[in-house]
């Protein structure tokens, strides 16, 4: 596995989480004036922040398209938590397109052959976790210096990212077991496990009054923060003060707005955190824990140096959680620091270049 790879030189267009929305991807790269193979008349390059797949109507189509651009040397792509799930064989509600567990008729997708699956899995396994050059860093969820240092110290190119993930997970569990909190978690699991994971059922039927399970909260936080691959691909988390349902289970940890503690000079571009294009006209659906963007507008860079930008404009929620008015696929143009959307709208941002 590769932790940090060298980012392309020259002008870039950094594309947010695509989540199987092939039409939006076609529209966006067209708006940015790229040819279908990812080449650009001005020599610009595309970069994908991960989460190419799940949720949308054509995950295999998106992977094929991006893979071809990467193989042609016109694009780079990093690993998101959704690719990681596939690499480590972890079945989730939204990845039945890969594992062939089609449980809802609304999202029928063609069945993949064994060979097609192997091509996709091999592509994902080789993706780096981060890209970097002098003026810019790109990572799916969280630039976390300690996790990057740990991975660079412990892993080499020959190690398999799925195995590394499992190794960190079992080390975190070993530490937990000696702390006593694990026993509490086990008891909660016995009593409430089936309610915590409600899957496709409406959680309301199962749990009228969600309660915080402190053993779950402590174990989930320790497993996340003790695993550097998890931190980089799905962010820092801490035990929540109230529980909420998401993705077929109740959550007991909150996302941390890590950028508020990011003080390095290099700008960072991330995806992962659902940002809304026109957030003022909609309320966030469901009770989704902490809103890490509370009080910020879509054109704002984040953190004390105002040099972190999230380019995920929630296209993955199109037709499901939100209307397409607010669900957009976006790209940050660099070094211009403007944002292009799949509908052709271009937005200036408040980025100030201090270099
Ligand atoms: Mn993600």
Give a yes or no: residue 116 inside a domain: yes
Q: What is the CATH number of the domain that holds 10?
A: 3.60.21.10
Give a yes or no: residue 243 inside a domain: no
Q: What does the pLDDT look like over 146-161, one tens digit per residue?
A: 999 999 998 777 889 9
pLDDT at residue 28 tops 60: yes
Stretch 160-179: mean pLDDT: 93
Q: Domain count of the chain?
A: 1
CA 20 – ligand 1 centroid, Å: 13
pLDDT at residue 286 tops 50: no
Give a yes or no: residue 288 inside a domain: yes
Q: What does the pLDDT look like over 173-232, one tens digit per residue?
A: 999 998 889 999 999 999 888 888 877 777 665 555 567 889 999 999 999 999 999 999
Give a yes or no: residue 249 inside a domain: no
**CA end-to-end distance (rounded Å), the chain:** 32
Domain region containing 300: 4-155+258-348
| pLDDT score for 179 | 85
CA 232 – ligand 1 centroid, Å: 10
The CA distance from 1 to 6, in Å, is 14
Mean of the per-residue pLDDT values for the chain? Answer: 90
| pLDDT score for 203 | 64
Dihedral sign for Cα 346, 351, 354, 355, please. negative
CA 280 – ligand 1 centroid, Å: 23
CA 182 – ligand 1 centroid, Å: 27
- 36: tokens are 């279908």
3-state DSSP assignment of residue 255 = strand
Give a yes or no: residue 27 inside a domain: yes
- List CB-based neighbours of ion ligand 1 within 5 Å: 51, 80-81, 272
What secondary structure letter does DSSP report for 146? Answer: H
Backbone angles phi, psi at 340, to 5 degrees: -100, 135
- 200: tokens are 């496709």
C-alpha pair distances (Å), 345 with each of 21, 44, 328, 337, 339: 18, 19, 10, 14, 8
Stretch 51-59: mean pLDDT: 95
Answering whether pTM is above 0.75, one says yes
CA 260 – ligand 1 centroid, Å: 19
The CA distance from 172 to 352, in Å, is 40
CA 30 – ligand 1 centroid, Å: 24
CA 192 – ligand 1 centroid, Å: 27
CA 140 – ligand 1 centroid, Å: 7
Give a yes or no: residue 227 inside a domain: no
Give a yes or no: residue 145 inside a domain: yes
What is the C-alpha radius of gyration for the chain, rounded to an integer number of angstroms? 20
What percent of the chain has pLDDT above 70? 90
| pLDDT score for 101 | 57
pLDDT at residue 275 tops 90: no
CA 187 – ligand 1 centroid, Å: 30
**Do the Cβ atoms of 9 and 133 come closer than 8 Å?**
yes
| pLDDT score for 354 | 78
Give a yes or no: residue 205 inside a domain: no
pLDDT at residue 78 tops 80: yes
- Which alpha helices (H) appear in the chain, and where do they start and end? 22-31, 59-71, 81-87, 96-99, 114-125, 145-154, 161-177, 181-196, 203-206, 214-225, 228-234
The residues that bridge with 130 in the sheet, in sequence order, are 4, 139
CA 39 – ligand 1 centroid, Å: 26
Q: What does the pLDDT look like over 93-113, one tens digit per residue?
A: 889 999 975 555 555 566 899
| pLDDT score for 195 | 82
3-state DSSP assignment of residue 208 = coil
CA 139 – ligand 1 centroid, Å: 10
């Amino acid at each position: 596995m590769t932790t940090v790879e060298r980012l392309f030189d020259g002008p870039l267009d950094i594309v947010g989480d695509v989540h199987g929305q092939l039409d939006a991807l076609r529209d966006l790269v067209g708006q940015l004036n790229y040819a279908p193979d990812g080449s650009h008349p001005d020599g610009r390059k595309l970069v994908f922040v991960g989460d190419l797949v799940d949720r949308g109507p054509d995950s295999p189509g998106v992977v094929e398209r991006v893979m071809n651009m990467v193989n042609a040397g016109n694009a780079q792509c990093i690993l998101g938590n959704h690719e990681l799930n596939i690499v480590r064989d972890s079945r989730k509600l939204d990845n039945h397109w890969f594992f062939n567990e089609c449980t809802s008729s609304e999202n029928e997708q063609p069945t993949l052959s064994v060979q097609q699956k192997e091509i996709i899995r091999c592509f994902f396994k080789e993706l780096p976790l981060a890209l970097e050059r002098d003026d810019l860093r790109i990572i799916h969820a969280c630039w976390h210096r300690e996790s990057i240092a740990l991975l660079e110290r412990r892993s080499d190119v020959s190690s398999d990212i799925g195995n590394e993930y499992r190794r960190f997970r079992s080390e975190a569990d070993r530490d937990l077991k000696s702390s006593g909190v694990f026993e509490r978690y086990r008891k909660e699991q016995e009593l409430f496990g089936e309610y915590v994971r409600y899957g496709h059922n409406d959680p309301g039927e199962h749990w009228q009054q969600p309660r915080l399970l402190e053993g779950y909260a402590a174990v989930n936080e320790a497993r996340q923060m003790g695993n550097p691959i998890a931190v980089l691909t799905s962010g820092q988390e801490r035990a929540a003060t109230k529980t909420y349902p998401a993705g077929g289970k109740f959550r007991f940890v909150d996302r941390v707005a890590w950028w508020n503690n990011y003080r390095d000079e290099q700008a960072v571009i991330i995806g992962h955190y659902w940002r809304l294009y026109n957030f003022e006209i909609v309320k966030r659906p469901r009770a989704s824990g902490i809103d890490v963007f509370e009080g910020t507008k879509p054109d704002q860079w984040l953190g004390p140096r105002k040099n972190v930008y999230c380019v995920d404009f929630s296209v993955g929620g199109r037709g499901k959680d939100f209307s397409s008015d607010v669900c957009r696929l976006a790209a940050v143009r660099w070094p211009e620091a403007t944002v292009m959307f799949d509908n052709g709208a271009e937005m200036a941002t408040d980025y100030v270049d201090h270099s």
